[in-house]
Amino acid sequence: MDEFKACQVKHLYEVEKLSMRQIAEELRMGVRTVSHTIRGKEPPKREKKPTLLEPYLRLIETWYREHRRLRATQVYKRLKDYGYEGGYTTVSMATRAFRKPRRRVYHELEFLPGECAQVDWMEATLPFGKVYGFVFILAYSRYLVAQFYPRSSMEFFLDGHIKAYNEIKGVARCNWYDNTRLVIIRRKPELALNTQFVDFSCHFRFSIHCCNPGKANEKGRVERVIQDIRNFVETHDFTDLADLNRKVDAWRKERNERIHRATDTSPASALADESLLGLPALPYSPYRVIPATVGKTAFVEFDTNRYSVPTDCASRQTTIFAYPDHLEVIVEGTKRAHHVRSFGRNQKIEHPAHRETLLERTPHGKYERILKLMCHMGSEIGTFINRAEAEGEDPFRSAHGLFRLLKSSSKELLLSAVREANSLNIVRLGFIESLLLPRGREDAAVYPQHTHLLDITYPERELADYDDLT
């Protein structure tokens, strides 16, 4: 017993007049220990019995010198092979000192202007579903670009890069990534990169740096800003993905204008000092290629949704080009279908014009099928046909007239014209035709703004004059 504890015991006994039992309860000591202290005797020391683990302690120390991250369960399993007969709890208590987390110290990373950008994904679960945030930050200026997407596949990964490059008007010389499969296919036996992303990096002329797995400190700038974005998302309400991107965009623009504690200047101001590579002259299309087979009903499945294709493509091999906002279906090198991408599940997206050939082959119930197809194409079509029927128009004739317009107009253009008619309460097929097929459009002549340009003449030259140029 130390001197301080002994003084406490004597004070409570001689001054406070407490009994030995009360002192033992107060100081959480044994009554015999209190008695020996008051009488000035040393408490008897008990001999420490050797534990079953004691013969193996040096062996355990050797294991931890070789493997610092050994778990207690692993040590216990190894000891059983050496004949240890004790329990797991004893091993766990004895190895606790070896398993204490050690404080790690890292070198501070410094970057030159335009040298590096750090890129990563983040996830967030919101009331309207799970979203994926693409986070891009320049290592020197700390300029931040962030965009949320409904998926985290390759087309969105490339689209996030392109939007970041367009905003900063350049490309950093090296991009740092973690262990994402969008960049790294495998690490062993040798590093293998995603070929599509390698093509993307060659187009924009940046090099790829793969950080070590589990080493978040190597790209600490983007990891830290992801924490800030997550705190913002968790403390605000959002109605949908567009509202989320709008509010996050306003937040990160305000953040780019604030003075950064490390650089003593704002990222927006430091962006001018970044020595970035120029953007390539040709644009890059962010898409993902997926091989598929068209079913017997002329639908192709992608991401649990079914998209229609022309009926002559049924039961044929096809390729889907998935863009962030639309899909293109390619059959034998020719684009046969174009659809706005749906992010729902188990939905059927059908273009009525894809069923024209099938309707000609099965004339029975043709107009009923056309009416069903057109109403399924959009709610505005159904509203237009119902209003026209209320004013005495034949719904089958209205649906067939709209169906015929799809031969010369796109689905989106037809829906826009129908919305315009509904807003003006003009439910006449002729009005839709006048919007999409204005009379005299093909016969209208095109004249320059200054008509005297049509009177310009120039002297003709003989072809022999060009022979001297060869």
- Per-residue pLDDT of the chain in tens (470 residues, 90 and over written 9): 678 888 888 888 888 888 888 888 888 888 888 888 888 776 666 666 778 888 888 898 898 888 888 888 999 999 998 888 888 998 898 888 888 776 776 677 888 999 999 999 999 999 999 999 999 999 999 999 999 999 999 999 999 999 999 999 999 999 999 888 999 998 888 889 999 999 999 999 999 999 888 776 778 889 999 999 999 999 999 999 999 999 999 999 999 999 988 888 999 999 999 999 999 999 999 999 999 999 988 999 999 999 999 988 989 999 999 999 999 999 999 999 999 999 999 999 988 888 777 667 666 567 777 878 888 888 888 898 888 888 888 888 888 888 888 878 888 888 888 898 888 888 888 888 888 876 655 555 666 677 777 777 777 777 777 676 65
Where are the domains positioned within the chain? 3-38, 54-94, 116-273, 288-350
Asked whether 146 and 248 are in contact (CB, 8 A), the reply is yes
The answer regarding whether domain 116-273 maps to CATH 3.40.710.10 reads no
Q: Are strands 207-210 and 174-177 parallel, antiparallel or unpaired?
A: parallel
pLDDT at 201: 95
Q: How many Å apart are CA 260 and CA 270, to the nearest integer?
A: 10
pLDDT at 363: 61
pLDDT at 46: 66
Cis status of the peptide bond prior to 43, with omega within 30 of 0: no
